[in-house]
Amino acid sequence: MELSEQIITEFENPTPIEYNTIRNTTGWDKLDLKTIEKGLVNSLFSVCLYHNEKLVGIGRIIGDNSIYFYIQDIIVIPEYQGKGLGKLIMKKVMQYIDNNADNNSFIGLMAAEGVESFYNKLGFETRPTSRPGMYMINKKAK
């Protein structure tokens, strides 16, 4: 049996603990569970992939559900990468966008270095240098 046949797809948010655990596989900065819970509740769409009851992949969409859609947290844990699960997550994410985005809606995402070709194959373009993307991470002292 192929791995894809063993994967359970759920259209729900992961728990804050699951989210924190899968984020940690990427080396991303840690977040506290209350922050995670608040963020997850405000998702427009979430998809979780489970194998043997273990969360192995996630994807989320955030935004205003009309003009702007941002694809976030496309994560497949390292031991499951290269097996088509990222494509499966993006297929589900793009089905949601296809069903909810209007003409000229903006669909954005930030990707890790080195995975541009994965998203290019799905129709995403790298921003030209004349249209730089910007970001800021709030570093509040606690």
Which CATH number does the domain housing residue 33 bear?
3.40.630.30
Residue 8 lies inside a defined structural domain of this protein: yes
Question: In this predicted structure, what is the pLDDT of residue 29?
Answer: 85
Number of compact structural domains in the chain: 1
Type of residue at 43: S
Question: In this predicted structure, what is the pLDDT of residue 74?
Answer: 96
Residue 128 lies inside a defined structural domain of this protein: no
Residue 91 lies inside a defined structural domain of this protein: yes
Predicted TM-score (pTM) of the model is 0.90
Question: In this predicted structure, what is the pLDDT of residue 2?
Answer: 74
Point out the catalytic residue in the list 50, 96, 119, 135. 119
Residue 36, domain extent: 3-120
Q: Is 68 annotated as catalytic?
A: no
Pair of tokens at residue 71:
């694809």
Residue 131 lies inside a defined structural domain of this protein: no
Give me the average pLDDT of each 10-residue run along the chain (142 residues).
Answer: 84 97 90 95 97 96 96 96 95 96 94 88 87 80 60
Angstrom CA distances, 17 to 14, 36, 59, 99, stand at: 8, 9, 16, 30
